[in-house]
A and B are shown apart, each in its own frame.
Chain A
Amino acid sequence: MTQAEIKLCSLLLQEHFGEIVEKIGVHLIRTGSQPLKVIAHDTGTSLDQVKKALCVLIQHNLVIYQVHKRGVVEYEAQCSRVLQMLRYPRYIYTTKTLYSDPGELIVEELLLNGKLTMSAVVKKVADRLTETMEDGKTMDYAEVSNTFARLADTHFVQRCPLVPTTDNSDPGPPPPAPTLVINEKDMYLVPKLSLIGKGKRRRSSDEDAAGEPKAKRPKHTTDNKEPIPDDGIYWQANLDRFHQHFRDQAIVSAVANRMDQTSSEIVRTMLRMSEITTPSGAPFTQPLSSNEIFRSLPVGYNISKQVLDQYLTLLADDPLEFVGKSGDSGGGMYVKDLHKALASLATATLESVVQERFGSRCARIFRLVLQKKHLEQKQVEDFAMIPAKEAKDMLYKMLSENFISLQEIPKTPDHAPSRTFYLYTVNILSAARMLLHRCYKSIANLIERRQFETKENKRLLEKSQRVEAIIASMQATGAEEAQLQEIEEMITAPERQQLETLKRNVNKLDASEIQVDETIFLLESYIESTMKRL
């Protein structure tokens, strides 16, 4: 784990879980897997707090535990999982686009709480939805359960590993920590629950439901006394599936930018068909015949079979090689090469970074070297048609930032510098790694700056919140205009302006974080896919 990653993890943990959890988490990330006593000793915190912190981290799937020999339990932190906390808003927004409000809230609850049982999720979500609906309407549990089932079917939520059912013939004391097992097939099985009920509003003085509360309350209490039918079956959000979805989205939009809308629709169909059949890490999708594609095209697109074939050949011949033809049966078998797609996305990211940082001439040189793989200084000047001085300057600028590297090819065995070729080349993997590291650093800087800004203006923020609260409460109890005016004037105009600037800055910093996170996702997926192939 690089220093930048550790710093970012510590900032994220601190923001979301507080300082104690942060201390323990960072210590675990730094030192690998450790037993409980050693953690308490090394970090200097009391055993109680260490236990609490570890519980929180395990609940959120950030730390896993393992039983070693002699009954010692060791805890290990997962740095990559902590970094994915940056992406929570994106996951929730994606679910909103796919499954609208109930789905969005389900995923939000799961992400915030780590693991939950299905009944707990459904209840919470129904309550929250009821809050926002108009008076008199309540959200039915059935609708939420349906959405939950659909989410499970498309693998967006999955079951957590379960405590194994112990046989009665197992002698001896129970192990210090349960080894949780999960069956592949059961991961997405939704338990058969008959959840009857509606969402409850928080206020018990609900005039609209006046007739009902008396009848409902005994039912509610009996529900609590009964054991929850799906006790022990916990669900978590399946982040890998979300990543797959993001990746597909990126590919589809890339195709749409490069060609036209129709071809992107075709690619989207192909990807959707292989969504569940292909495991997330595979470099290629299953080959699909063009007949199948034709059948599964969305209803709105009535293009003829021939046009579809033409599009497919066009896609297959494209130099970016998003789609490859792997056979002729069934009207042509087509395969999506995911690794190549990711590589081209990562390359595009690199190119755009070079362009924004150094200018379009540098970008031209960069693309040239990318295309020709190895070039000498002289050749760069000739091909790019840029005067020698400028070309040299730009090459060195990029070299110093490690976007381009030098490859030495000696002519003589003694590697004499005057008799060696020096070729410029772009190593995409290492450049991607370097850029990723920079992204981590920049997000850490953004978070720090945001915290600094809020801390600077803390007094002002508190004051404004208090004033708002006073106004709100007075409005509720019915106050006059004059009084409200007076209280509003407690915040002077320059203070208001200061607040405005603060809000704008914080928003800008937040938006930048989200933007950098998108780049991080692309680069991480590319690096991961390359490492798998090696």
Chain B
Amino acid sequence: MPFFPSLSVGSLVPSRSFQDSRGRALPLPLFLDWPRESTNGQLPEAGLERLRLKEDQRIWSWLLLGLRVGEGQQVLLPGSLNTQALPTMASRGGGRGRGRGQLTFNTEAVGIGKGDALPPPTLQPSPLFPPLEFHPVPLPSGEEGEYVLALKQELRGAMRQLPYFIRPAVPKRDWRRLPRELKIRVRKLQKERITILLPKRPPKTTEDKEETIQKLETLEKKEEEVTSEEDEEKEEEEEKEEEEEEEYDEEEHEEETDYIMSYFDNGEDFGGDSDDNMDEAIY
């Protein structure tokens, strides 16, 4: 939600009134008190107001200054283009700059005829999700499309299991200062899993590599992402005791939580943890 600063009507009216050279009070320009960052153009009311009043000012100033060229009153309505007015606007500027009102292109050639309505002014940046005029074409379905789709999803999962997927390392802890019980036990050797054959695709065979790498990692570091959690996602094989182990481990090292580990403590270790290591679990 964009931030709308509070408006009070009193603050909008400027202290001095706007007067022209002859002393007549002109309609007050609405100086909106938006700080610069708020006006990112998402407030159409603000823009319209400004535009309308600018036009009014311009009309007033012409009428007051008098028409130098005897062409009668040509009031320029916002939204239409009067090609005759353009050169006269220039001269009416009183020589304040050559070709001030001229446009750089030939309007006929471009295709804007006389008296044509200009397209509505753009008052805000284009919306983030512009509405589509036409419905998009349906995606490829059928056997080939589905097969490639399934392939893609499996590849994604498979690549996460390979040893090439490097997980972010966790910094070493100084075990002398922390209670011994916080250290993670070495993960037991993963026993044989009961394999359940998938209907289409056979599961990957990189178990051994995974196990050794995991053992090495647990020896070095404290927390480890629960990789077997992801095994469940991709391969439908699991053993019950492994599950239980995970459920226990999950509480301990869920890296995806927003809370630091001490959130889950029940106050026992309050004085024990050293302050040096408080930054470890925040991601």
Q: Which residues of A contact B (CB under 8 A)?
A: 15-21, 49, 52-53, 56, 59-60, 88-90, 92-93, 108, 112-114, 124, 127-129, 131-132, 202-205, 356-359, 377, 388, 392, 417-422, 458, 461-462, 465-466, 468-470, 472-473, 476-477, 507-508, 510-515
By the criterion CB–CB under 8 Å, are A472 and B236 in contact?
yes
Contacts beyond the supplied A56-B166, A113-B162, A465-B232: 4 A-B pairs with Cβ under 8 Å: A358-B134, A422-B110, A469-B232, A477-B240
By the criterion CB–CB under 8 Å, are B168 and A20 in contact?
yes
Nearest residue (CB) in B for A422 is: B109
Quick check: is B169 within 8 A (CB to CB) of the other chain?
yes
Quick check: is B73 within 8 A (CB to CB) of the other chain?
no
By the criterion CB–CB under 8 Å, are A90 and B110 in contact?
no
Quick check: is B105 within 8 A (CB to CB) of the other chain?
yes
CB distance from B68 to the nearest CB of A (A): 24
B-side contacts of A421, CB under 8 Å: 109
By the criterion CB–CB under 8 Å, are B243 and A473 in contact?
yes
Chain B 230-276 residues near chain A, CB threshold 8 A: 232-233, 236-240, 243, 256
CB distance from B199 to the nearest CB of A (A): 9
By the criterion CB–CB under 8 Å, are B140 and A203 in contact?
no
Instruction: List 27 contacting pairs A-B, 8 Å CB cutoff, sorted by A.
Output: A16-B159, A17-B164, A17-B166, A18-B165, A18-B167, A18-B168, A56-B164, A59-B164, A112-B162, A127-B205, A129-B202, A131-B195, A202-B207, A204-B192, A356-B134, A377-B109, A418-B105, A420-B106, A420-B109, A462-B229, A465-B233, A466-B232, A508-B139, A510-B149, A510-B152, A511-B140, A511-B145
Nearest residue (CB) in A for B226 is: A462
B-side contacts of A458, CB under 8 Å: 256
By the criterion CB–CB under 8 Å, are B139 and A511 in contact?
yes
B-side contacts of A419, CB under 8 Å: 106
B-side contacts of A124, CB under 8 Å: 205
A-side contacts of B137, CB under 8 Å: 356
Bound form: Cα–Cα A418–B148 in Å? 56
Quick check: is B123 within 8 A (CB to CB) of the other chain?
no
CB distance from B144 to the nearest CB of A (A): 7
By the criterion CB–CB under 8 Å, are A49 and B166 in contact?
yes
Q: Quick one: which of A18, A19, A515 has the most chain B CB within 10 A?
A: A18
Q: Given A89-B152, A132-B202, A512-B139, verify A18-B166 contact (CB < 8 Å).
A: yes
Q: Given A16-B165, A511-B149, verify A473-B238 contact (CB < 8 Å).
A: yes
By the criterion CB–CB under 8 Å, are A417 and B196 in contact?
no
A-side contacts of B243, CB under 8 Å: 466, 469-470, 473
Nearest residue (CB) in A for B147 is: A93
Q: Given A203-B195, A469-B232, A476-B194, verify A53-B166 contact (CB < 8 Å).
A: yes
By the criterion CB–CB under 8 Å, are A20 and B166 in contact?
yes
Q: Given A18-B168, A508-B139, A514-B148, verify A377-B238 contact (CB < 8 Å).
A: no
Bound form: Cα–Cα A21–B109 in Å? 56
The prevalent SS among residues of A at the interface is: helix
Nearest residue (CB) in A for B112 is: A392
Bound form: Cα–Cα A358–B156 in Å? 35
> Looking at the complex, which one of B159, B169, B238, B256 makes contact with A17 (CB distance below 8 Å)?
B159
Quick check: is B127 within 8 A (CB to CB) of the other chain?
no
> Looking at the complex, which one of B110, B155, B169, B195 makes contact with A88 (CB distance below 8 Å)?
B155
By the criterion CB–CB under 8 Å, are A392 and B205 in contact?
no
CB distance from A504 to the nearest CB of B (A): 12
Report how many A-B pairs have Cβ atoms within 8 Å: 145
A-side contacts of B238, CB under 8 Å: 469-470, 472-473
B-side contacts of A128, CB under 8 Å: 202, 204-205
Bound form: Cα–Cα A345–B118 in Å? 38
A-side contacts of B169, CB under 8 Å: 49
Mask of B193-211 contacts with A, CB within 8 angstroms, 1/0: 0111100011111010000
Interface residues contributed by chain B, number (CB under 8 Å): 55
CB distance from B260 to the nearest CB of A (A): 19
Bound form: Cα–Cα A92–B141 in Å? 18
Bound form: Cα–Cα A112–B205 in Å? 13
CB distance from B126 to the nearest CB of A (A): 11
A-side contacts of B237, CB under 8 Å: 472
Bound form: Cα–Cα A49–B168 in Å? 9
CB distance from B238 to the nearest CB of A (A): 4
By the criterion CB–CB under 8 Å, are A112 and B158 in contact?
yes
Nearest residue (CB) in A for B167 is: A18
B-side contacts of A56, CB under 8 Å: 164, 166
> Looking at the complex, which one of B148, B203, B232 makes contact with A131 (CB distance below 8 Å)?
B203
By the criterion CB–CB under 8 Å, are B106 and A417 in contact?
yes
Bound form: Cα–Cα A172–B93 in Å? 84
A-side contacts of B162, CB under 8 Å: 112-113
> Looking at the complex, which one of B105, B144, B149, B203 makes contact with A417 (CB distance below 8 Å)?
B105
CB distance from B160 to the nearest CB of A (A): 8
Mask of B32-58 contacts with A, CB within 8 angstroms, 1/0: 000000000000000000000000000
A-side contacts of B106, CB under 8 Å: 417-420
Bound form: Cα–Cα A417–B108 in Å? 11
B-side contacts of A92, CB under 8 Å: 151, 155
CB distance from B110 to the nearest CB of A (A): 7
Bound form: Cα–Cα A347–B167 in Å? 44
Bound form: Cα–Cα A204–B136 in Å? 52
By the criterion CB–CB under 8 Å, are A510 and B153 in contact?
yes
A-side contacts of B148, CB under 8 Å: 89-90, 93, 514
CB distance from B192 to the nearest CB of A (A): 7
By the criterion CB–CB under 8 Å, are A356 and B168 in contact?
no
Q: Given A93-B147, A466-B232, A514-B149, verify A356-B136 contact (CB < 8 Å).
A: yes
CB distance from B253 to the nearest CB of A (A): 14
Bound form: Cα–Cα A473–B193 in Å? 10
B-side contacts of A476, CB under 8 Å: 194, 196
Bound form: Cα–Cα A512–B239 in Å? 36
B-side contacts of A131, CB under 8 Å: 195, 197, 202-203
CB distance from A53 to the nearest CB of B (A): 6
CB distance from B193 to the nearest CB of A (A): 9
Q: Given A465-B232, A514-B149, A514-B152, verify A203-B192 contact (CB < 8 Å).
A: yes
Q: Quick one: which of B134, B164, B192 has the most chain A CB within 10 A?
A: B164
By the criterion CB–CB under 8 Å, are B195 and A392 in contact?
no
A-side contacts of B201, CB under 8 Å: 132
Bound form: Cα–Cα A117–B122 in Å? 62
Nearest residue (CB) in B for A48 is: B169
Nearest residue (CB) in A for B144 is: A93
